[in-house]
Amino acid sequence: MAHERVALVTGASSGIGKATAELLARSGYRVFGTSRAAKPDAAITFALIPLDVRSDASAAAAVDAVIRQAGRIDLLVNNAGYSQAGAIEENSITDARDQLETNVLGAMRMVQAALPHMRRQRSGRIISVSSVLGHVAPPCVGLYAMSKFALEGLCEALRYEVKQFNVQVSLIEPAFVKSNIGVTPPTHPLPDYADLRELASRFTANGVRQGMAASLVARAVLHAATAAHPRLRYRVGRRAHLLITLKRLLPERLFERVRQRVFAAGSRAGASAPVEVSP
């Protein structure tokens, strides 16, 4: 008799994480979503447990809670994260550490907590939500792009390390998504970067306003979770496909022109929408 499939989705209180947890629940998974401040909510269709991915103890406790309640873990979806804004010179080393601590080391903590159970089962899937910015880095989101570039490398190596245990690893690479991802301003804003930072803010705001629904990313996660032979990378959205493909095929100088045009057009497209800023 087939066992009940059990999924753990980080950052599931809203946006991509919530859409993914809900879709997995509708597709037959027993789903545990996580949030830093998990509160009972009768409207959600999955269990919500507390997790701070910046804490080793919290990551271990979240996985232990799943194992205690469900006896196994078949799917880990690393989705928790935020975006650090500002030019590289405007951000502190602490800002960079915090960005990596959540977006990269947070995923690594969850992997290290879940993998022993998957190895014992000799089965499992690990899916991490990356971004087109894991391949192409616009100005004034360099730290966020750095974290996604690093996540790409981490998962690429992990895929080959754990394949021997019948554990599959995939990355989901969307372009802009309509979501409320937190954007943290730079610690030391400098007047010399003010105009470029404003353009970048408009580029991001317009991209989010015109972005794809989180449900489309959730569908890509489900596909990677259920495919007989899952790929390493799943690109979601026309812009993600186009930019990543052009970067691979075009000479560097020509691609730089394309990237500048995309950034300029995106920063002018329509009225800017507010971007949620976390304290």
Find the CATH number of the domain harbouring 15.
Answer: 3.40.50.720
Supply the residues annotated as catalytic: 144
- Ranking 16-25, 34-43, 126-135, 241-250 by mean pLDDT, the lowest is 34-43
Question: Strand pairing partners for 167?
Answer: 124
Sign of CA dihedral 251, 253, 259, 265: negative
262 part of a folded domain: no
Q: CA 76, CA 124: separation in Å to the nearest integer?
A: 8
Q: What average pLDDT does range 79-97 have in this prediction?
A: 97
236 part of a folded domain: yes
Over residues 27-50, the pLDDT tens digits come to 999 999 999 886 767 678 899 999
Sign of CA dihedral 88, 89, 91, 94: positive
Question: Strand pairing partners for 207?
Answer: none
Task: Give the rounded percent of residues in the chain with a pLDDT score beyond 90.
Answer: 79
Q: Which of 2, 55, 5 minimizes the C-alpha distance to 32?
A: 5
Contact 48, 41 (CB under 8 A): yes
Q: Residue 1 has what pLDDT?
A: 44
Question: Residue 163: is its pLDDT beyond 70?
Answer: yes
Q: CA 82, CA 181: separation in Å to the nearest integer?
A: 6
Q: Which domain holds residue 166?
A: 6-191+212-240
Q: Residue 277 has what pLDDT?
A: 29
**How many structural domains comprise the chain?**
1
254 part of a folded domain: no
122 part of a folded domain: yes
Cα 157 to chain centroid distance, Å, stands at 17
198 part of a folded domain: no
269 part of a folded domain: no
pTM above 0.85, yes or no: yes
264 part of a folded domain: no
Q: What average pLDDT does range 249-254 have in this prediction?
A: 94
Q: Residue 24 has what pLDDT?
A: 98
Task: Give the rounded percent of residues in the chain with a pLDDT score beyond 70.
Answer: 94
Q: What average pLDDT does range 91-103 have in this prediction?
A: 97
Over residues 191-243, the pLDDT tens digits come to 999 999 999 999 888 888 889 999 999 999 999 999 999 999 999 998 889 99
182 part of a folded domain: yes
- Ranking 21-30, 67-76, 162-171, 204-213 by mean pLDDT, the lowest is 204-213
